[in-house]
Amino acid sequence: MSDSPNPFQPPGWQPPTRVNPASDFGEVIQRGFAAAHARPAGGIWMFIVLVPIQIQNTIMASIVLNSGLMEQLQRDNIDTSNGAPPALWVLMGLGCFSCIWLLTLLLAIPWIWGGSAGQLRAQLLGVNVSSFGAYGRQYYGGMFAFLLMFVVVAVVLSIPNALVNQIVSASAIRPGQPWDAETARSLARHPANIISSIVTVLIFAGAGTLLNVLISVSVAVGRGIRAGLGAGFAFCSDNLTDVLRLYLTCVLLTLPFVILAWIPPLITPSIWIGIVFGVLSAAYLGYLSLVNLALANALIAAKPERD
């Protein structure tokens, strides 16, 4: 082990308590999956808070693509003699619900992250596991700070993909062309949009991997957000190879979710089939968040102090 100082380590930082080091990365993966399946509450709660927004997005997309409302808006030809069209009222109601539920997500996700990370770490260390709510309350402040930082990063990372989508839409849609299901399918199949989406997924997988490592180390050291950030970056610097392996694992695990998210725009299913895809996407996203956090905890708990 190297004795050279690490520039990321905060003053007085000590490595978190670890169990017996894993003999290889495959053992880390096994321990992470075992912990996730033993303590699934975080994944269940994540599914509960994500499924309403997934269903809402499916309903809104179906209305936009199949009601003809967008074509009327394009032509400024909405008949309001008998009041606004029902589809417009539904979209407005769903938009209000979305705002309220996004606030719910903002408040609930830090509690879920804290509860899940606390239980997973206790499970991996073989100590008594407290209730999910107790860990959620204990780490809520730090997890809320992590969420705010991730939201800012996510917005910045999303800008290039949004610009590509806008450029493709502007060049591919002819003036006066109606915005319908066929138009949406053609844009979804456009090579530039496909490449941009793949690159965005890879970037977000990296950001998610780093976030899970920072959360896990923060819970391990238990010394606040600043110490958690410093210790987390120190861990990544000391164990870069294994963190990259963790990233590649995250990319592979993300593929099923990407498929579930991409199928509906390509085939334009009925609203009920779309809702099924939305529920499946929320379920897998909840499981994915649980497993990725468990793998990060397993790597931290089983990794020697220095390579």
Provide the residue type at 173 as one letter: I
For residues 198 and 97, what is the distance between their CA atoms, to the nearest angstrom? 30
Q: Is residue 2 part of a domain?
A: no
Whole-structure pTM value: 0.81
pLDDT at residue 110 is higher than 50: yes
**Residue 1 falls within a domain, yes or no?**
no
Give the three-state DSSP class for 180.
Answer: coil
Judge whether 195 lies within some domain.
Answer: yes
CB 95 within 8 A of CB 57: no
**Average pLDDT of the residues in 208-230:** 87
Residue 153 maps to a domain: yes
Domain of 165 in residue numbering reads as 25-74+84-302
- How far apart CA 174 and CA 183 sit, in angstroms, is 10
**Residue 238 main-chain phi, psi, to 5 deg:** -75, -30
Q: Report how far residue 204's alpha carbon sits from residue 118's, in angstroms, rounded to the nearest whole number.
A: 24
Closest CA to 211 of 143, 260, 307, 141: 143
In a domain, 3, yes or no: no
Q: Give 28-77 pLDDT, tens digit per residue.
A: 899 999 999 999 999 999 999 999 988 888 777 777 666 555 555 555 55
Report if residue 221 sits inside a domain: yes
Asked whether residue 174 is domain-assigned, the answer is yes
Q: For the chain, give the mean pLDDT.
A: 81
Per-residue pLDDT tens over the stretch 252-303: 999 888 887 777 666 655 777 778 888 998 999 999 999 999 999 999 987 6
Helix (H, G, I), strand (E, B) or coil at 37: helix
Q: For residue 51, give both structure tokens.
A: 């499924």
- Give the total number of structural domains in the chain: 1
In what helix (H) or strand (E) does residue 151 lie, and over which residues does it extend? helix 140-172
Task: Please indicate, yes or no, if residue 233 is contained in any of the structural domains.
Answer: yes
For residues 9, 14, 16, 18, the Cα torsion angle rounded to the nearest 10 degrees is 120
Output the CA angle 33-34-35, nearest 5 degrees: 90
Higher pLDDT, 57 or 14: 57
pLDDT digits (tens, 9 = 90+) for 74-85: 555 555 555 556
